[in-house]
């Protein structure tokens, strides 16, 4: 029976080739043991990527909706915080104005009017809040401040009411400045857009509209009545003590009335917050489900992988042993 053998060079080549192959398999199996996911996805899926592609697309869409929902939640939370500050300021101010106006004491009315001017600045500062560089109450113009400064408000109002010396005359002019289409408020006070902020997509076919802008009537009324109180005792206008007191009381009572409307706005925002939380919970559950499906699709049998890994380690050890023995062969030892 004839015997076949290979030369030393061919033998060395075969050993190296086998070594590379076994080390490659060892690395692949070790990775699969650590991650539980197939290292060679094309071979694992037999080249069929359709289902995996669908899962990856759904995960990307889910991530986009989750990001939008998170942004919406941040936006609404900031709005709620701002309106809470506005409501607290208006509540405290209304009581102070009514009390000071009814006393008819010049010093008390002057102090209350000065305080209203300070609070107008505080209110406008709060309403000019932005989150991540986006204005809260500017509608679609998120890169623009929502309102001009308190000094600009008061300067424009004092110019508008100059010459008016009766309560009805002053209030009519101020109402027109704040409420008339194209009036001073819309041209010089509110700086945002008249178009609502784009809806936030929070799910397939589901959007959340945040249409609260700085030109909302309730916000106008709050600013209007604070401004009325701020100019009531302004020395440049020269109103009588009696007229100052009437302006302060009028502003204070209207601010108190506005509280119910402001509470309604905050309740609507609370409903939007609840919707966002529901969407985020649903999106989180959907993501978990998709990731589990992907894991099952790409996952490996860890017991089978461990068996293969042990087998490869044994083969590699055997190869090293054979290589070591062959490397020690010599003609002298053979003879």
pLDDT of 287-310, one tens digit each?
Answer: 999 888 877 766 555 556 667 666
Lowest mean pLDDT among 23-27, 180-184, 209-213, 271-275: 23-27
In a domain, 309, yes or no: no
Answer whether residue 334 shows pLDDT above 50.
no
> Is the separation of the CB atoms in 215 and 193 below 8 Å?
no
In a domain, 218, yes or no: yes
> Is the separation of the CB atoms in 228 and 250 below 8 Å?
yes
> Is the separation of the CB atoms in 135 and 141 below 8 Å?
yes
Average pLDDT over residues 214-222: 95
b/e burial code for range 306-329 (CB count within 10 A of at least 16 → b): eebbeebeeebeebeeebeeeeee
In a domain, 168, yes or no: yes
pTM, full prediction? 0.77
Both tokens assigned to 40: 């060679």
In a domain, 138, yes or no: yes
pLDDT tier, 233 (very low <50, low <70, confident <90, very high otherwise): very high
**Which of the pair, 132 or 20, is modelled with greater confidence?**
132
> Is the separation of the CB atoms in 115 and 96 below 8 Å?
yes
Report the CATH number that the domain containing residue 125 is assigned in CATH: 1.20.1330.10
In a domain, 121, yes or no: yes
> Is the separation of the CB atoms in 148 and 157 below 8 Å?
no
In a domain, 105, yes or no: yes
Integer Cα distance of 293 and 36 in angstroms: 14
Burial (Cβ within 10 Å: 0-12, 13-18, ≥19) of residue 208 = buried
Domain range holding 114? 58-290
Both tokens assigned to 74: 């941040």
Rg of the chain in Å (alpha carbons): 38
Number of Cβ within a 10 Å radius of residue 147: 26
Query: pLDDT tens across 168-204, in order?
Result: 999 999 999 999 999 999 999 999 999 999 899 988 8
Domain count along the chain: 1
Integer Cα distance of 7 and 184 in angstroms: 100
Tokens 């939370």 belong to residue: 77
In a domain, 48, yes or no: no
Query: pLDDT tens across 16-70, in order?
Result: 666 666 566 666 656 655 555 565 566 666 667 687 788 889 999 999 999 999 9
SS3 37: strand
DSSP secondary structure letter of residue 199: P
In a domain, 6, yes or no: no
């Amino acid at each position: 029976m004839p015997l076949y053998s290979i030369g030393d060079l061919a033998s060395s080549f075969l050993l190296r080739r086998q070594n590379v192959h076994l080390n490659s398999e060892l690395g692949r199996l070790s990775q699969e043991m650590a991650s539980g996911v197939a290292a060679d996805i094309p071979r694992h899926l037999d080249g069929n990527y359709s289902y995996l592609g669908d899962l990856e697309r759904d995960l990307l869409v889910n991530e986009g909706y989750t990001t939008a929902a998170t942004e919406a939640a941040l936006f609404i939370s900031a709005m709620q915080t701002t309106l809470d500050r506005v409501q607290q300021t208006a509540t405290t101010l209304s009581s102070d104005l009514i009390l000071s106006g009814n006393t008819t004491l010049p010093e008390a009315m002057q102090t209350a009017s000065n305080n209203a001017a300070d609070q107008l600045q505080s209110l406008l500062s709060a309403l000019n809040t932005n989150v991540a560089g986006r204005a809260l109450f500017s509608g679609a113009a998120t890169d623009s401040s929502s309102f001009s400064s308190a000094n600009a408000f008061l300067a424009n109002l004092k110019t508008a009411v100059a010459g008016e010396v009766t309560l009805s005359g002053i209030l009519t002019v101020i109402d027109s400045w704040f409420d008339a289409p194209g009036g001073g408020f819309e041209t010089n006070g509110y700086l945002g857009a008249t178009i609502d902020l784009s809806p936030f997509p929070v799910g397939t076919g589901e959007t959340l509209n945040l249409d609260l802008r700085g030109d909302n009537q309730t916000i106008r009324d709050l600013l209007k009545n604070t401004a009325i109180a701020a100019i009531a005792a302004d020395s440049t206008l020269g109103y009588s003590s009696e007229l100052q007191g009437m302006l302060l009381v009028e502003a204070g009572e209207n601010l108190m009335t506005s509280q119910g409307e402001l509470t309604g706005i905050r309740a609507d925002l609370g409903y939007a917050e609840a919707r966002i939380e529901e969407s985020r919970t649903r999106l989180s559950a959907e993501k978990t489900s998709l990731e589990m499906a992907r894991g099952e699709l790409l996952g490996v049998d860890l017991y089978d992988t461990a068996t293969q890994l042990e087998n490869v380690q044994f083969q590699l050890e055997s190869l090293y042993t054979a290589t070591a023995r062959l490397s020690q062969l010599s003609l002298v030892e053979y003879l």
